[in-house]
A and B are shown apart, each in its own frame.
Chain A
Amino acid sequence: MNKTAKGPLSRLLAAPHILWSVLFILIPLAFVAFYAFTDNDLHFTLTHISEFFTPKYLGVFLRSVKLAAIATVICLVIGYPAAYFISRTSPNAQKVLVVLIMLPMWTNFIIRTYALSEVLEVINNAIVYLLSLLPESLVPIALDPKPDIVIYNETAVVVGMVYDFLPYMILPIYSVMSKLDYRLVEAAQDLGCNGFGVLRKVVLPLSIPGVLSGITMVFVPSISTFYISNQLGGIFLIGDIIDYYYYNNNHHFAAALSFVLMLILLAGLILMNRFGDDEKEGKR
């Protein structure tokens, strides 16, 4: 009885939040769509959207997809064993290691990226110096003027993405693995699995949810970054283009770029969730 009397009133408590979400989440996104399809006089136009699909911008977009995908794969390859090793240490060690993984995330990413560019510069100089010691016939590239091997190119951008977003891969995978029932591993061993079999048949399938959220958490910020690419690579990715047109007050084109990017990411996310659900179904 109490419940029915209390119900409608307490449900009203969600009202301010609903109003807030409509005003500051849904309406702004509606503005992105509206600006994407209008010109400066707010008349309907498809010019901006179709400009996205010209070779110039499509090329930038594909380059962003490529670099973000490479960075995500590298993060997964480095992060998965790291998460596994952390989850296998003692509870106290786990605590310390997780804090150490999170610590860089609390240092401003612009400063970290800038410092990384200094480190890459030093590494670049070191590589060039080592190459100069070799006989000339063995060196595949010209050393004068000084070549950029790990800085101001796509390699540097990928290194930057991996550096900035690696914790976002390690933490979700770790959180799934730390809850993994170790008796399952023992059962698999009792039933004759070797180390690799345990990993492939028990640990890997159970950690899929963590892997999927890790992939999203690395890929989305990587593909839309607008500082890393410029500072480390001196190149323009899709985020830099959006920033450029935002900065130069061409809001309609920036909106068109954002709109298409958002739709593509949304489609990818839905596809991936399907895949995740299928995995779960298969396991049952």
Chain B
Amino acid sequence: MKKNNFLANFYMFMVFFFLFAPIVVMILFSFNAGKSTSVFEGFSLTWYAEMISNEAILEAVRNTLLLAVTSSVISTVLGTVAAYGINKMRSPGVRATLMTITQIPMINPEIITGFSFTLLFVFTGTILHFSETFSFWTMLIAHVTFSLPYVMLQIMPKLKQMDKSLPEAAMDLGCNPVQSFFKVELPEIMPGIVTGLIMAFTLSLDDFVISYFTKGSGFTTLPILIYGEVRKSVKPDIYALATVIFVTVLVFLVLFNMLSTDEDAKAKRQQQREKARARRKHAKEAHK
């Protein structure tokens, strides 16, 4: 058994070593004093300073955040409303067809989804005589479209799990359908909505392929900027940028996990309290 454990640990170590070796190289060379990404010439923070003063990078950061916030909010609102409507449909066939169509961008290779947007926008742009078809708006449409299935797949199960009698009870007690939705149903499916929103946000932040096919000349996001830089020659400032993003994600994940373990611990304490109460009650009754 012990030998087995050792083998398993060693195996996991090798897997993580493989997954993290390039990231370690990236972080290490972001502190390089020299201009190279393969020869380490000493520790320095030059590239971080360079990055902060690079207007192109800062603008790309702003654009990326703007796009991620708007596309995740729109896809969450649209997806919640749609999931609610689809869930109310009586024919299982129609429901299944709608969900399948929504999931096409999830299954199709990203390059085809992206290229199909190119064709749509080029065609529409030509017909309507736009001088500049590709812009923030084309990217926004694309990002909302590929985030939608992820949002809806988070909300659908919550709607199905929800007790059907809850909204009925609310309406019997005098709520109109709108009130019942906001006061009863929405809080019930809230966890799904939040997870969907977070997923849509991170998907948008990190998307390169579909953005590449829908980008306009005036609106550059981080992945697009990085792609352009990598095609020329990489300077450590891109590594510095990626390191900052990596650390940010890490901090968020740790915080998020600590919060959720806190909740778990709270739930556990609550359970224990209830158990203790029940035990006391039981003891009292036995005493009588």
Contact = CB atoms under 8 A, between A and B. Distances in A.
Contact of A103 (B18, B38, B253): B253
B113 to A, nearest CB: 8
Given A14-B82, A27-B120, A31-B120, A224 B257 contact: no
A83 to B, nearest CB: 10
A102 B203 CA distance: 13
Contact of A25 (B115, B145, B177): B145
B246 interface: yes
Interface residues of A, number: 79
A132 to B, nearest CB: 20
Main secondary structure of the interface of B (DSSP, over half): helix
Interface in B220-249: 222-223, 226-227, 230, 234, 238-239, 242, 245-246, 249
Contact of A106 (B98, B206, B238): B206
A32 B171 CA distance: 48
Given A104-B20, A115-B22, A119-B25, A110 B145 contact: no
A142 interface: no
Interface of A: 2-3, 6-7, 9-18, 20-21, 24-29, 31-32, 35, 78, 81-82, 85-86, 88, 92, 95-97, 99-112, 114-116, 118-119, 121-122, 163, 166-167, 216, 220-221, 223-224, 226-227, 231, 239, 242-243, 246, 251, 254-255, 258, 261-262, 265, 269
Interface of B: 8, 11-12, 15-16, 18-23, 25-26, 29, 37-38, 78-79, 81-82, 84-86, 88-90, 98, 101-102, 104-105, 107-113, 115-120, 122-123, 141-142, 144-145, 148, 168, 171-172, 177, 202, 206, 208-209, 213, 222-223, 226-227, 230, 234, 238-239, 242, 245-246, 249-250, 253-254, 257, 261
16 contacts: A7-B88, A10-B84, A10-B177, A24-B142, A27-B120, A107-B26, A108-B223, A108-B242, A109-B208, A111-B238, A118-B22, A118-B25, A224-B109, A224-B112, A258-B115, A262-B112
